[in-house]
Amino acid sequence: GQQLNQSPQSMFIQEGEDVSMNCTSSSIFNTWLWYKQDPGEGPVLLIALYKAGELTSNGRLTAQFGITRKDSFLNISASIPSDVGIYFCAGVAGKSTFGDGTTLTVKP
């Protein structure tokens, strides 16, 4: 079946630093989705990407749909403590396939 490789698995950064995470696959997807899960909550959809090469921003978050349609990245600029959480990517091709998540810790 389809699998996603999400990296890094975890990140420990200082407040104010920029963050970058990505998802790659050997499969082609029609849509890439990025979610954030706060502790004890369900994941919340942050950004949806529908076209290869598409670059979309949501505040300090920027995500891109890779040209090959096999990858996507998420950048967070000028991190703040409330950015802490688990970030999941999901590739959609009929059904959704989720990455294993990137756990982000931000030190004040």
31 contacts other proteins (rule: CB under 8 A): yes
43 contacts other proteins (rule: CB under 8 A): yes
Judged by CB, which is closer to other proteins: 58, or 96?
96
Q: Least separation, in Å, of the C-beta of 3 and other proteins? A: 12
Spatial neighbors of 76 by CB under 8 A, at least 6 apart, are: 18, 19, 20, 60, 61, 83, 104
Binding test (CB under 8 A) with other proteins, winner from 2, 7, 56, 103: 103
| Cα–Cα distance, 97 to 5 (Å, whole number) | 11
Task: Copy the structure tokens of residue 27.
Answer: 């499969």
Task: Copy the structure tokens of residue 4.
Answer: 């996603």
- Contact segment (CB under 8 A) with other proteins among 17-25, 33-41, 64-72, 77-85 equals 33-41
Three-class SS state of 16 = coil
Cβ distance 69 to 28 under 8 Å? Answer: yes
75 contacts other proteins (rule: CB under 8 A): no
**Footprint on this chain of other proteins (rule: CB under 8 A):** 30-31, 33, 35, 40-45, 48, 50, 88, 90, 92, 96, 98-101, 103
